[in-house]
Chain A
Amino acid sequence: MTRVPKQPTVAVARKRRTPAPPEETFLGMPAFRHGAKNALANTQQRRNLRHATGTIRAKRAAVVGEVADWEGLRRAGEDVKNDVLAHLDSYLVQFEEQFTKAGGTVHWASDADEANRIVTDLVRATGADEVVKVKSMATQEIDLNEALEDAGIAAWETDLAELIVQLGHDRPSHILVPAIHRNRSEVREIFLEEMGRYGTAAPGDISDSPPELAGAARIHLREKFLRAKVAISGANFAVAETGTLVVVESEGNGRMCLTLPETLISVVGIEKILPSVADLEIFLQLLPRSSTGERMNPYTSMWTGGGSGDGPHDVHVVLIDNGRTNALGRLHGRSALRCIRCSACLNICPVYERVGGHAYGSVYPGPIGAVLTPQLRGITSDIDASLPYASSLCGACFEVCPVRIDIPELLVQLRHEVVEKKSHARVPSANQAIFAGASWMMADARRLTAAQKLASAASRILPKSGHLGPLPWPMSKWSNARDLPNPPAESFRDWWKREHEGGRP
């Protein structure tokens, strides 16, 4: 496969500094089923996803199975997060006090634009024209890299998978493993083609063995680490009691960013609060086991404010809302804010496994994306309205979620919201008419009986093969790839009436 990097179509005065992401934006994406259809046709991606999710599922199951009271741990995690969400106002103020006392500066951003503006100004104030980044979902969510690029500041992703995505002119398709849709031969091609344009090139004779690929990334990144004056991170947890931020990672590249530069800016969702340091005991068990399938992640970095010794002296946190208070105000939706972004629900999801992340039209794909995105953005677009339906409601996500988010229940509640929204349209949709009709029928057994008689009558004139093959629309949605059994000559209730009630059906 040869890769053609996308070039910006509009003429820009200044040359881009970092690789351009794909042109289409998430919000402009079509409804889920269209994106899903394209994704299903990508057989390489399907093989990659099946392999990767299968491996990580097995690892998770093994390390979760060895915890004596995993259920108790899940409930403890759920309780702490529920407490945080119920008293978020006071915990946030407490966090601000403590963070400030420790020498850091707290900034508040109500939406993505405001957060991007704050970060851009902070970077500009240092005089730097580039930053290194720790893997962070919050900065993906606000599309910080592009905001910085527009301001002439280069943002370098340093997480290996994020680097692959960035160099590949791609979008992340997974919370934890953003390049999960790529296999190593694709990674090799991306490195060979792109690394040299943005820094140290990959060796020309590089193979697709993981150690060689990691080695190339190490050399490419090291140069950026040593040069960087500013780092940008997210945080897995923000401890209110002490004002401490916590980042959990596997590679150590995050640790490099968090310790080498002089200025550290962390962009953190307001729901990341934990009341006390002691609560980490629960979450540092729940997260790695659910996430990477490890007992403990290799690197856990914690910092409380700035200082005059080693590490960054100038420390900032930008606390972002960006739709979170919207979700917080919902009785059912609120529970989605318990999410610790472990990605267990993505890895277990049969829909995600086949379709991958891009069809979800958001940096949050999979089951959690399907319930979080429509709440953060509001159900404003086709893609948002289709997300709650992007699930067979099999319930596997709820079973693995370390903070017990009942995702199937949330999906059903959000579907109800979509239906309500559409019911205000002046012209009722075909869907509404069908369900209103079916509801009328099911309200009264006599009406159901009448419908069954029609089906039985049809069965008498249908071919005797026992099943129906391809049928015209709308039945084609079923029958394009599946046969349908012939309706029986007699419904159960007619048989019952004949046999037991002595009456004529």
Chain B
Amino acid sequence: MTGENLEASVRPTAITDPGAGRPGAGKTVALFATCINDTMFPQTPKAVVSLLERLGCRVEFPLGQTCCGQMFTNTGFFDEALPTVRRYAEVFAPYDYIVAPSGSCVGSVRDQHPMLAERTGDRSLVERVRAVTARTLDLSEFLVDVLGVTDVGAYFPHRVTYHPTCHSVRVAKVGDRPYRLLQEVRGITVVPLPAADQCCGFGGTFSVKNPDVSVAMGADKAHHVMETGAEFVVTGDNSCLMHIGGVLSRLNSGIRPIHLAEILASTEGAHP
């Protein structure tokens, strides 16, 4: 076998790339499902897989992943959070793009992992953590900034309202990307949510440490959602959605909570 032939046989050509011609062609994405989605809302990471594959990406799910550790960090249990920081840095080290369907978990990874690593005084850990956390993106950031798409070919013929979760806006800073993605969905009606920038009251362990205040905030959010006449309330974070949806369900409001990824994944043939 000549050298030329050998090279041709190992180098994948454009023809063999299943994503060829699509925005995600040639990109491998590590999906960080997040522990709450993995355990409670598997339909969301499934939607991310189908969406990203439809856009031509190769999706991998490193099985060693667990959790961003935010519930520990935000409750003050820094030492308990550290194993998740180490694990995250190790599991996702090989990937260029780490994508999660959660502005909150992405915010925690980018914002808090470096701080937790610094506390150990272990320089090499800090370096590794910084490298991997900087490559972590919320789904909306990956779609708009990396793939350069806002029209993902989705179809969702429903009236929806979008709640911008606090951590997606103020920590991960996803900006208006989710709105731009929603606007391009065929068949959809997006109704503005009154007082959208007010916290829904979830707040992680706040929801059980201060349940009365948390529910008072959730009730106001639920009422605003109901005012819009939407069929679905959409967010990019299932944790907040579990709280808002929990209040809406107790009120028998008939409004369904749904993650942004699930809307973006639905097509004419398949939508929830």
A-side residues, CB < 8 A to B, are 32-33, 36-37, 40, 350-351, 354-355, 388-396, 398-399, 412, 414-420, 431, 435-436, 438-445, 448, 451-452, 455, 467, 469, 474, 477-478, 480-485, 487-488, 490-493, 495-497, 500-501
Contact = CB atoms under 8 A, between A and B. Distances in A.
A491 B76 contact: no
Interface string B154-166: 0000000000001
B84 A478 contact: no
Contacts of A496: 61, 63
Given A33-B210, A389-B206, A392-B202, A412 B74 contact: yes
Contacts of B246: 467, 478, 482-485
Q: Please name the 3 residue pairs, one residue from A and one from B, whose CB atoms are nearest each other, closest first.
A: A392-B203, A415-B76, A482-B246
A392 B201 contact: yes
Among B202, B208, B216, residue most surrounded by chain A Cβ atoms (within 10 Å): B216
Contacts of A390: 210
Given A393-B74, A396-B197, A483-B246, A445 B66 contact: yes
Interface string B93-135: 0000000000000000000100000000000000000000000
B22 interface: no
B103 to A, nearest CB: 12
B38 interface: yes
Given A395-B171, A438-B72, A37 B212 contact: yes
B256 to A, nearest CB: 10
Contacts of A388: 76
Given A393-B206, A478-B208, A481-B247, A418 B76 contact: yes
Given A396-B166, A435-B77, A497-B63, A485 B250 contact: no
Contact of B212 (A36, A416, A497): A36
Contacts of B206: 389, 391-393
B176 interface: no
B25 interface: no
A444 B112 CA distance: 20
Interface in B28-44: 33, 35, 37-43
15 contacts: A36-B213, A37-B212, A350-B199, A393-B206, A414-B76, A439-B79, A439-B83, A442-B35, A442-B66, A443-B83, A448-B67, A481-B218, A482-B246, A484-B246, A501-B63
Given A37-B212, A478-B208, A481-B211, A491 B80 contact: no
Contacts of A455: 39-40
Contact of B209 (A33, A416, A448): A33
B81 interface: yes
Given A412-B74, A415-B74, A438-B72, 13 more contacts: A36-B210, A37-B212, A351-B210, A395-B166, A395-B167, A416-B78, A445-B64, A448-B39, A455-B39, A477-B208, A481-B250, A491-B42, A492-B39
A419 B250 contact: no
Contacts of B45: 492
Nearest to A421: B76
A159 B75 CA distance: 40
Given A436-B80, A492-B45, A392 B75 contact: no
Contacts of A497: 63
Nearest to B246: A482
A395 B42 contact: no
Interface in B214-232: 214-219
B199 A392 contact: yes
Contacts of B35: 442, 448
B10 to A, nearest CB: 24
A448 B35 CA distance: 8
B183 interface: no
B203 to A, nearest CB: 3
Contacts of B218: 481-482
Contacts of A393: 74, 166-167, 203-204, 206
Given A398-B170, A436-B80, A483-B249, A491 B209 contact: no
A441 B66 CA distance: 9
